[in-house]
Structure 1
Amino acid sequence: MGDVPDLPYRQASPAGGAPARSVPTFPGCAGAGRGQPRHFAALDLGTNNCRLLIARPQGSGFAVVDAFSRIVRLGEGLAATGRLSDEAVERTIAALRVCADKLRRRNVLLARSVATEACRRAVNGADFIERAHAETGIRLDIISAEEEARLAVLGCHALLEPGDGPALVFDIGGGSTELVLIDTRHSPPRVVDWHSAPWGVVSLTEHAGGGQDAPARATSYARMRALVAESMAPFAGRLPADPVRPRLMGTSGTVTTLASVHLGLDRYDRAAVDGLIVPTEAMRDISLKLSDMAMADRARFPCIGTERADLVVAGCAILETIMDLWPAERLGIADRGIREGILRRLMGNVNP
């Protein structure tokens, strides 16, 4: 195919501050005409999902003007081969083309696009990044696990329940799970400790999932729980032994999906889920029930469906393990995270 021109906006540097390079603007695009609203964009390419958010500043936050989300399973098969498969790359490039089209149509002033665990781990991750730029104009920055964790906290901490004690924020991804212990007496919250576990819903499913009958499903789930517990043991050993009123918040497709099941939603409703507080025991009950179901039965839940039916059990195993190591009575649910953290940095609402 022919060369794809650079997208008509500035793409932020890895530090999230000044742009790495200025790109000329064109009529109808960023900077074209005074008085037009200027938009900012954040793209998060994970192991399982490709998500885009375009927003404009509003007060101390921002208003979303456009969004996109697609399950691409970029990391499918990565655990076995160490590579991003051709099929996964094609799916992801197709999604990135949709994102590029949205970026061209909006008055985007500054954008940042990041890639996480799948691209960090794959031997051909850098090649994929180059191809994505050549074919879509989007420059993906492969960020570290630590920055991924910090961005997630920055994007969702406003939903934490009030309190003075430490809070644990986690992000269950497709290829890894980030856990961050924060002190909310500071603004923005101060990161006290963090940990990246090498298990997400895709990697854990491929490594330990499976089982058609009930005994096999139980064995698989126990194996998942053991693997996750082992990977989180170093972090668990550093956590406060007896935290006062510990607070817990999750941001990921796993927690929003399970919250939807808890609410009995016929279709996903962000307004009902984002900011919801759920008893942790209720989430345990849902996790155990889902882990014991056949895949076809899990798929009948409207907010799980066939796209998530095979991966949700791994998410349940990770969530249960997190609730084991941080004994909070309630779990906060956030349908926000990395993209919102990027936008806040770009808009200068917090120091990068």
Structure 2
Amino acid sequence: MPARPLRVAPGRRRRSGGALGGRAPRPGYCGGAVKGGATSGPVAVVDCGTNTTRLLITGGSEPAADRRSEITRLGRGVDATGRLDPSAVERTLECLIQYRRAIDDHNPTAVRFVATSAARDAANRSDFLQPAESILGAAPEVLSGREEAEAAFLGAISELDPAEGPYLVVDIGGGSTELAYGERDCTDALSLDIGSVRLTEKYIHHDPPQPEELAACLSVTELHLDDAVRAIPALGGPCRLVGVAGTITTVAAVELGLATYDRDRVHHFRLSKEAAEDVFRTLATETLADRVHNPGLHPGRADVIVAGVCILVRIMRYFDFEECLVSESDLLDGLALGLLEA
């Protein structure tokens, strides 16, 4: 579909080209929206995804009081076993202990704790959710794929002009990819069982990946997109692509050549299709030992980034997008807005 100009400042270019768990939250915290009107103080949101565990503490102003992200790989092996690995649970709980300390330092009026794809898929998710609730003092919520997509949409378009839509917000996670469509509000959303960790574990077994492994990731993504268009016909019409989450922000950071990650430079960077393809070719043809040296690529993401970029470039090819507006505002920001505006 033809791209139209976006009313955002272009970034600089480096090169052309329902709650679970039985225990009550600790005093002073509540999960979900604040009742009785908008909260007057900061709020905290914790998101436990397949690959990363993240924290946002904000009062609605920029910069946020505290924003953290740690690669804990909670979803390692879940696609194959249907269960959370004990070592992955332990890593993530250790991260949450640090997050709880940060939360206590800011004394928010509300805390919302969510888990996504890995927890949705794992039969033993209570092995993680119960101790996590004890640590955070907030009842966990396992978001549905649609809820995850809607929250990502709310965060991503919070600084965009609805008149410049409609928008397709794409959130490429470790275990799933969410698509959300709309202008001011999300009118259609769905979750696809493709993500950087899931596809890596399922299809990429050589270093560097072999051509047939890359082809498998691209083909599987295409099949899921076929299903998405059947479910949401509007995806086949004109819209603007907005990309959120670690895979897409990493591609932008690599394209920018950021030796030190700079959220302000990544936020609302216009990633061209040509640049995305260029980063894909570079990362996919390197060994892991070489790949980790790319400026902008977190070493903990290097082993799964190729599969994630397969998803991104296939989406851009499939819908003929010429660029992707990269947004650092995502699921966390959308959930925080929900608390602040409740």
Q: Of 189, 195, 199, which residue of structure 2 is paired with 1:194?
A: 189
Structure 1 residue aligned with 2:35:
18
How far is the alpha carbon of 1:335 from its aligned partner?
Answer: 1.2
What is the one-letter code of the residue matched to 1:44?
Answer: D
CA distance in 1, matches of 2:107, 2:331: 22
Conservation of the 8 A alpha-carbon contact between 2:100 and 2:135: no
Using a 3 Å threshold, how does the CA distance of structure 1 residues 282 and 126 change in structure 2: closer, same or farther? Answer: same
- In structure 1, the gaps of 5 or more residues are 20-30, 32-36
What is the distance in 2 between the residues matched to 1:262 and 1:77?
30
SS at match of 2:109: strand
> Which residue of the partner structure matches residue 283 of structure 1?
276
TM-score of the pair, normalised by structure 2: 0.86
RMSD of equivalent CA atoms = 2.3
Task: Kindly indicate which of the two structures has a greater share of residues assigned to strand.
Answer: 1
Match of 1:207 in 2: 202
Which structure would you say has the larger RCO, counting Cα contacts within 8 Å and 6 or more residues apart?
Answer: 2
One-letter code of the match for 2:186? V
Q: Are the equivalent residues in 2 in contact too, given 1:7–1:100 (CA < 8 A)?
A: no
% identical equivalent positions: 34
CA contact (8 A) 2:51 2:72 kept: yes
Who is 1:72 aligned against? Answer: 72
1:137 aligns with 137
What's the offset of the Cα at 1:252? 0.9
| Range with greater deviation from structure 2 (91-100 or 152-161) | 152-161
- The C-alpha deviation readout for 1:17-64, integer Å capped at 9, x for no partner, is 539xxxxxxxxxxx9xxxxx8211111111111111111144xxx551
**Structure 2, unpaired ranges of 5+:** 1-22
User: What is the TM-score when the length of structure 1 is the normalising length?
Assistant: 0.84
Specify whether residues 194 and 293 from structure 1 end up closer, same or farther in structure 2 by C-alpha distance, changes over 3 A only: same
Distance 1:290 1:298 in 2: 6
- Partner in structure 2 of residue 85 of structure 1: 85
Q: Which residue of 2 aligns with 1:48?
A: 51
Report how far residue 157 of structure 1 moved: 0.8
Name the amino acid aligned to 1:266.
Answer: A
Match of 1:340 in 2: 333
Mapped partners of 1:57, 1:168: distance in 2: 24
Q: Which amino acid aligns with 1:324?
A: R
**Are positions 1:308 and 2:294 aligned together?**
no
The residue type paired with residue 304 of structure 2 is: L
Which structure is larger by alpha-carbon Rg, 1 or 2? Answer: 1
Higher mean C-alpha deviation, range 163-172 or range 262-271: 163-172
**CA deviation after TM superposition for structure 1 residue 332, in Å:** 0.3
Give, in whole Å, the separation in 1 of the partners of 2:118 and 2:156: 23
2:322 & 2:245 partners in 1: Cα distance? 19
Residues 127/134 of structure 1: CA separation in 2 closer, same or farther (3 Å cut): same
Q: Distance in 2 between matches of 1:330 and 1:136?
A: 39
Could you tell which deviates more after superposition, 129-138 or 75-84?
Answer: 129-138
Q: Give, in whole Å, the separation in 2 of the partners of 1:63 and 1:261.
A: 23
